[in-house]
Amino acid sequence: MHNVDDAMLKMLSIYRHEFLNYLQVVAGLAQLNKTERLMAYIRKVSEEVQQFGRLAGCGDPRLALIIYEAFFQGTTENLVLQVRGDFPLINDEVLATLSSMLMQFNTQLSNGIQSTLAVSLDAGERPCLRIQIIEGPDLFTSIVLSTEERGIISYEINEAKKEITIALG
């Protein structure tokens, strides 16, 4: 698990790398005089940068990094992110267990399963992460936690909505 400073530095490094990649594509499209594709790309990239900014500003950079690594590495085309409020620093054990859960979920997504996801971080009275599969199969029922992990984190699966809510506080 990263400490707060390391997680913040890694998020900044990721942002810098992504931003430079975007600029390279913009420069290439501009050189080729592909103005229509350029404008569509700029709109797409603007939304991705806004989502990254919302995530980075969630309050706990370690949480932001876990979410980024689980959902943003690769494509963000089929992901809608909402962040409400500022999270306090979250317990290390909770973050480690959350990371384990999300990596299992991500492994299923990386097996070529096409899904559209809504990811919501809510720092309200009961801080939580909510993931809903808008399009695609239910992937939550195969998440396996050890007995020890189940004592650290609580979650609820709503099969009808294809949604999981994970308590973070």
* pLDDT at residue number 140: 78
Give yes or no for a contact between 166 and 121, defined as CB atoms under 8 angstroms apart: no
For the chain, what is the mean pLDDT? 88
* pLDDT at residue number 29: 96
Mind listing the domains of the chain with CATH numbers?
A: 4-167 (3.30.565)
Residue 21 pLDDT more than 90? yes
pTM: 0.85
pLDDT in tens, 98-140: 998 998 888 877 776 778 889 999 999 999 999 998 888 877 7
Using CA atoms, how far apart are residues 135 and 31, in angstroms rounded to an integer? 37
* pLDDT at residue number 1: 62
CA 153 → CA 20, 44, 111, distances in Å?
A: 37, 35, 26
Using CA atoms, how far apart are residues 75 and 92, in angstroms rounded to an integer? 28
Using CA atoms, how far apart are residues 152 and 81, in angstroms rounded to an integer? 25
